[in-house]
Structure 1
Amino acid sequence: MADKVSIEGIAYIVGRIVERAREAVEESKDNREDVFKDGRALAYYEVLDILRTELSVREISLEEIGLDFDLEKELL
């Protein structure tokens, strides 16, 4: 097992989370009365927000990772 994950590995993982987050937002928009789907979309947003903050603190390029977009605008 690897001791460290490469930037490419982090970018891949983040890409998968972003993809699922976008799907969750679309599902939430399709059925606004389903509070579970709203909560699921919000949870993905919060996970990505934490990742963005932690990567920024570590001075890892958000562009390189794929988090250089407006989370609030796209996911809320």
Structure 2
Amino acid sequence: MSRKTAVVESYAHRWEDDVFRHRWVIWNPAGETLVFDREANCPVDIGDATVLPEVLRRMREAGVPETDDYPGRPCA
């Protein structure tokens, strides 16, 4: 397994786990695409921009919701 594949697989819980699948949202603010964690109420740092396209592809394929609107709760 290549390093890149291993890194992508480390994010698999965002598209494989039915219990938490809708915890994650693909958020498209201002021409940027981010993974948003609804539980933590903030964007997730994928850390390696080279794997982000594959993570997003797999999330989309699994049916993870995608939105241009802010997907979180109001900040206090």
Instruction: Report the TM-score, using the length of structure 2 for normalisation.
Output: 0.37
The structure in which a higher percent of residues are helix is 1
Instruction: Report the TM-score, using the length of structure 1 for normalisation.
Output: 0.37
Query: Between Structure 1 and Structure 2, whose CA radius of gyration is higher?
Result: 1
